[in-house]
Structure 1
């Protein structure tokens, strides 16, 4: 039996991707084939499948055949429940379990099982898309002289960002037509989608305090400007999603104003009021953000149930948004002993599917999102837990790690722990949820990545990991030209349109990675297999039926990675990104690069077509 800490490619391997599952998005009642590759060097045999049927553990015997220097075990997996859990018992002199967290020598819980969902597929285009997040007030302005409402304070485009609460009323004048006027930059960059933070009328520049869910803010150009932007993007092959808050409104919202004026009104039932108009529940105690009560059927009807709701309106004509990002998705519908989160996400998904099941629904989540990945609901989440935090723990500076989250922040980790963190997060949810999630390392809610990474070289490694790990990569506007900013106010600085100020080398780095991502089925849909988990080096293979991609990242100088041609199933490798080299040495392929750095190779397809 191969020790789990030994050569990674010598261990049994499975991924719940289409490479090893005949249908990773099964319908309820369907039976699919799942396969495990067992290298001869592992000493494993026989293998059995363990699954859970209506809460009862069930074991299934499989079929074994030879493929190269491995045995391939195939099993029939019945997909009976909403979430289909399964893992593999690997027999031998020292039996182990193969789980979503790897090969383990203890009896694991079902939490780490591989998982499939029978509740609908993530749209195929989502993991094939690289997103460009835009904070509309700070990207570009088509009309810098527009009149401002009384709450807003004008700032010139190059003026510094204010401190404290004044930062939220500071308006630089960016608008939706400004974005439309600069689509040439996004087309040149190669992104496939734009994610807009909220565009509804509000009383702040961030607009998470909506005054209405029916109107686009006139400061951004109104409804017509959103239509113009969406149409221009669609003509260019770029999708558009925006931000919707189902957890709260602003205190200036027309519903909340009606509720405070009459606690007997239908709108009063939309919120959690006490005996007085000023006694109400607010998000994290922020009085300007009153929390919504989803037990109100009228609220649900107006906000997200059905095509005529606010949620449905902007997915249909003439706006034709391609989906929604749901703000504070982890807290939506939750207050004390009341938890309606599942009902909210299921109803929102039902509306989306009724309008067009090929649209995307993604929820904000900074933490453990496994409880919210059940049932029809979000296709995925903003994957801070499985991408941003692990990458920051490996590549981030001490100040950035300590201030990324409340409490102790993010601890420094070696490569092996980083890989274990990624595996733990991915194994906690169905594979389609992983593919349907945003892979990101920064946003409007964090410092900019170039201010968090411990060095410019490590920053580039982080970008490459974001572009090659499972999920739908998302970059924050300006990161591609080297913008910096500490804290979530400074990170929202204006986009400089004097192109002489841009970091051209950084732009080329992003452009090349985005092009590679867009051309690779393995990076979009392939499974993930670790090939190296050293303190200062990580390497993994993304593999699909069409191709295999090997990514190696080194945060410091490290020895070359030597992989057995027999275990790889090929002696072919072609460098497709970075400055690495590959050579053949005594039946091995040796992958080398000068650290810190990252290199990506396309390796020969393994002879597993019989899977």
Structure 2
């Protein structure tokens, strides 16, 4: 019979790491970590070999009876944190072997001994934060691209801006081919007052935090080309609207996270001023400008370093002392906005910012507001990330509280669309083994962003490969694709909520908005044309998350996965909640000897149906409950 039983689901583990505080692949520096390994019967000697990624030093420790405990301070050699690769070297009468991670990234394997640490296990030693942003634990984030959410006021239009009045059918301007120039000066009129008017709707989704796309003065509609960090853009309502939004959010129990774009500014900015909008000052027009030292000119003034060669985004030398003082000094941008009630910042292109910059920014932010949150835009495994030839230290306690969870987005889409179990397990294992618990608690669990395809399109739409920009601009899913996609979106959102972290809703995903990636994922919100069934599902999960603490405080385990069925458990004390996704064309049944409750629809029974292409969230009587999920005959 197809399916599984809870306690009979297969597991294959040769070794186990148990920190005194942390999870299997991370440990707090003031604690210790215990390693255990299952050895072949003919073993004559076992050694734990540990490589410090920071220093290159290799230490070897004798292992007796398959167990050894080390203090993290000993591993770090006096440092506050570290990243370590380790393996077990096993000698037997027949030869020398080593136990490392298998190629699937999930299980362990015994192989012939070799030099180096390729395939080795990973251990992150981190410094625990005294005042973590616990206000975000168990919350839900709503990500808003301001210009496309809702028109709430009557803000003045800049002379060189263009207003597209077709909110319902307007298509954002786009380039015909990569490398073409686009002004990005077409606006649809969304503003901060519009967000205020829609706060009741946002609250109804269970949202506890709003993450805003950049709001500071800038030429473009996206505002990633900052013109003035000290001023909220007038077309968004200016400082008055921002202050009102902060006040109204506080009344609703909602925090604000701002988008911090600190790797580059706009060329049309008070700092660079290439176009002369800000008078005769600015680095481009005046070598004596206080901002001149922020930029790197190779041939003044026309040739300068820019982000990815995009000349409208001159790159800032962010480690320049005067720039750091401007951004996070006592009177700087970060501390000013935190004083105004902001809960934290998401840092754009964090890979481009130095460890020193990130560390000093975080220290300054915590000095101003001890429980603020700093989240980085990092697309890969942040524990092992290498950028520009250097291993990054994002999650070791001094730089970022957490990151955007792109690896899990990839895992969710790969599984739901293709049934790719290996990709799902590999990404889930890497993230939740190697990230410290504090980082996991505030992971931004995205399934869609302003940089990616709309989730419904990613799950069930046609591939964009081979399509022209004109074709992408007008593409609509068929009714059959859309119906399937809506069911898969429910499963994707459920998984983003059940996996450790904070689910993040990209505006309109909950309403069934379609679209390929930028700019087709940035259309105006479809007010009055929403998928109400999908919104009701999001609201229901928001209600459940508020009352079921196991969903964000509990331990997580992937109980079972195959191409058809996925089951993930969260347990806290005696509480047990399991999420089941059925991506097959067959009905499955959750079966238990005791009555369980399906939390989404409210069914209470010992047997609960899980229909084809659907999902369920089931609360069992206690954590010792035996259950199974089987295909109906």
Q: Where on the TM-score scale, by shorter chain, does this alignment land: which range?
A: 0.7 to 0.9
1:321 to 342, 345, 356: 342
**2:155/2:234 contact within 8 Å kept:** no
Q: Show the counterpart of 1:377.
A: 399
* Per-residue deviation, 1:10: 7.5
* Per-residue deviation, 1:551: 1.7
Q: Show the counterpart of 2:82.
A: 83
- Separation of aligned partners in 1, 2:498 and 2:36: 23
CA distance 1:87–1:593, change in 2 (3 Å)? farther
Which range moved further: 154-163 or 203-212?
Answer: 154-163
TM-score if structure 2 supplies the norm length? 0.76
**1:85/1:114 contact within 8 Å kept:** yes
* Per-residue deviation, 1:348: 1.0
- Separation of aligned partners in 2, 1:113 and 1:496: 45
2:523 pairs with 1:493: yes
* Per-residue deviation, 1:513: 1.6
* Per-residue deviation, 1:573: 4.5
2:254 pairs with 1:238: yes
CA distance 1:547–1:52, change in 2 (3 Å)? farther
Map 1:348-359 → 2, pairs under 5 A: 348-359=361-372
2:438 pairs with 1:432: yes
- Separation of aligned partners in 1, 2:73 and 2:240: 46
2:157 pairs with 1:134: no
Structure 1 stretches of 4+ with a deviation exceeding 4 A read 9-25, 32-38, 47-64, 73-77, 84-91, 93-102, 107-111, 558-563, 570-573, 578-583, 604-608
CA distance 1:83–1:581, change in 2 (3 Å)? farther
**2:26/2:435 contact within 8 Å kept:** no
* Per-residue deviation, 1:23: 14
CA distance 1:487–1:562, change in 2 (3 Å)? closer
Q: Can you list the C-alpha shifts for 1:351-407, whole angstroms capped at 9, x where unaligned?
A: 1111123111011122343333254111111111x21111222234xxxxxxxxxxx
Q: Show the counterpart of 1:120.
A: 129
**2:32/2:71 contact within 8 Å kept:** yes
2:581 to 538, 548, 553: 553
Secondary structure at the aligned position of 1:174 is classed as coil
**1:579/1:599 contact within 8 Å kept:** no
Q: Can you list the C-alpha shifts for 1:190-245, whole angstroms capped at 9, x where unaligned?
A: 11110000000000110001111110011111112111111111121111111111
2:493 pairs with 1:472: no
Q: Show the counterpart of 2:335.
A: 312
CA RMSD of aligned residues (A): 3.9
- Separation of aligned partners in 2, 1:9 and 1:239: 41
* Per-residue deviation, 1:490: 2.2
2:351 pairs with 1:330: yes
2:315 to 291, 309, 324: 291
Aligned length: 545
Map 1:544-583 → 2, pairs under 5 A: 544-545=572-573, 547-557=575-585, 573-577=596-600, 583=606
**2:402/2:442 contact within 8 Å kept:** yes
Between Structure 1 and Structure 2, which shows a larger proportion of strand residues? 2
Secondary structure at the aligned position of 1:453 is classed as helix
* Per-residue deviation, 1:472: 1.4
TM-score if structure 1 supplies the norm length? 0.78
Q: Show the counterpart of 2:109.
A: 105
Q: Can you list the C-alpha shifts for 1:383-442, whole angstroms capped at 9, x where unaligned?
A: 11x21111222234xxxxxxxxxxxxxxx5622332122213444443433333211111
Q: Show the counterpart of 1:280.
A: 304
- Separation of aligned partners in 1, 2:19 and 2:571: 9
